[in-house]
Amino acid sequence: MKKILSVVGARPNFMKIAPVDKALRRYGREVSHKICHTGQHFDDFMSKIFFDDLKMPRPAFYLGVGGGSHASQTARIMLELEKVFETEHPDLVIVPGDVNSTMAAALVASKMSIPIAHVEAGLRSFDKTMPEEINRIVTDVVSDYLFVTEHSGIRNLRDEGIDNDKIFFVGNTMIDTLEAHYDLIEASPVTANMGLTQGKYILATFHRPTNVDDKESLAALMATLGHLAGHRKVVFPVHPRTMKNIREHELEKAIPRNLIITQPLGYIEFLSLMRYAELVITDSGGIQEETTYLGVQCITVRKNTERPVTIDVGTNHLVGTDLEKVEKTALDILGGITKPGRIPELWDGKAARRIAEIIVEE
């Protein structure tokens, strides 16, 4: 029996690993699978609620590392993980996504000569000022199995000289999770509970350091949402990083009164808000993909995206960080100038099954 250990730490990791765990359980005679949670995200509404919503097993290991600077957070994850790998001796470590926990786990495993599988390999924004870009590059270079979600990922890995035999185009496990919970998402009472008319409100999320760490950018962003709230109701679930900055910059009074502010929501409630939104405005990575799958218009307030398929075939509008342009594009969309979208290749709910099959066969 081979031992597989998946390392997760931050909110977007959980929905990417849940279907992999489920798919590996089908091979219970060949492999055992355990989850290690680094504790990078620690609030119940950033972590526990996802394990509950997605019916994931409790992590076998919890490292409790918490927040901090990149160096200290990454270093603490590495020190704690080394101990887990030393006692557990996994035959394979799986790391999803691009957060600090992903890179830290990949580095520790590679130094201990433990094979690594990267779920969501090959994505590149070509912007090294993003911490995630460094995490992606480092993780991919030490990984043995690179599971790719879109064609650009294959190209990027080949361009970086990664051996073709290591690259597997499998689709998107986050979309597996969305597909598996689609009925619950559609049936959620969240829109009614919040007094929203389906198809007639805007959902907004912001947490990228470039948008929310600087006082002026954050204030301007909230003002833009305030203007749009003059046209449609705007729901704004606030990420802990964003809330911390609102408090530190004493911007509580700058929050427009007409915004519907909530704390971060659970998976089903949030995806239901996304499903029925007329427009989503975000700087998230994953939300660009989820809106593309759902066919919901999405404005991405970033200068680049590592997920170009959401622009090329999906409903994503990459508009940059000029907020006048964001507002104009939003008003165009509300006025009916929308982008038709298709679902990208292999985003069919079966990516995790492909991954499990490859892992077990190899």
Residues that bind ligand UD1 (CB under 6 A): 10-12, 40-43, 46, 67, 98-100, 131-132, 207, 239-241, 244
Q: Which is nearer to ligand UD1, 239 or 307 (CB)?
A: 239
Question: Amino acid identity of 147?
Answer: F
- Using DSSP, state whether 282 is helix, strand or coil: strand
Helix runs in the chain, H state only: 11-25, 48-53, 70-88, 100-111, 131-142, 151-159, 173-180, 182-187, 190-193, 209-212, 215-228, 240-248, 267-275, 286-294, 309-312, 323-334, 351-361
Q: Which is nearer to ligand UD1, 57 or 67 (CB)?
A: 67
Q: Which is nearer to ligand UD1, 90 or 237 (CB)?
A: 237
Half-sphere exposure of 107 (CA within 13 A, CB side): 19
Q: Which is nearer to ligand UD1, 73 or 152 (CB)?
A: 73
In terms of C-beta density within 10 A (0-12 exposed, 13-18 middle, 19 or more buried), how is residue 351 classed?
Answer: buried
- State the catalytic residue, choosing from 37, 41, 118, 207: 207
We find the least distance from the C-beta atom of residue 46 to ligand UD1, in angstroms, to be 3
We find the least distance from the C-beta atom of residue 284 to ligand UD1, in angstroms, to be 6
Q: Which tokens sit at 202? A: 């805007």
Q: Which is nearer to ligand UD1, 211 or 292 (CB)?
A: 211
Sort residue 117 into left (φ over 0), alpha (ψ -120 to 50) or beta. Answer: beta
Cα Rg of the chain, angstroms: 20
We find the least distance from the C-beta atom of residue 14 to ligand UD1, in angstroms, to be 10
- Distance CA(128)–CA(123), nearest Å, equals 13
We find the least distance from the C-beta atom of residue 111 to ligand UD1, in angstroms, to be 20
- Distance CA(34)–CA(37), nearest Å, equals 10
User: What is the secondary structure of 183-234 as a DSSP string?
Assistant: HHHHH--HHHHTTPPTTSEEEEE---HHHHTSHHHHHHHHHHHHHHTTTSEE
Q: Which residues pair with 234 in a beta bridge?
A: 202, 259
We find the least distance from the C-beta atom of residue 76 to ligand UD1, in angstroms, to be 12
- Distance CA(166)–CA(173), nearest Å, equals 18
Residue 202 CA to chain centroid, in angstroms? 20
We find the least distance from the C-beta atom of residue 245 to ligand UD1, in angstroms, to be 9
Greatest C-alpha distance within the chain: 60
Q: Which is nearer to ligand UD1, 14 or 145 (CB)?
A: 14
Q: Which is nearer to ligand UD1, 6 or 40 (CB)?
A: 40
We find the least distance from the C-beta atom of residue 15 to ligand UD1, in angstroms, to be 11
- Using DSSP, state whether 274 is helix, strand or coil: helix
Whether 41 sits among the annotated catalytic residues: the reply is: no
Q: Which tokens sit at 185? A: 């998402």
Question: Amino acid identity of 157?
Answer: L
Which are the catalytic amino acids? Answer: 207
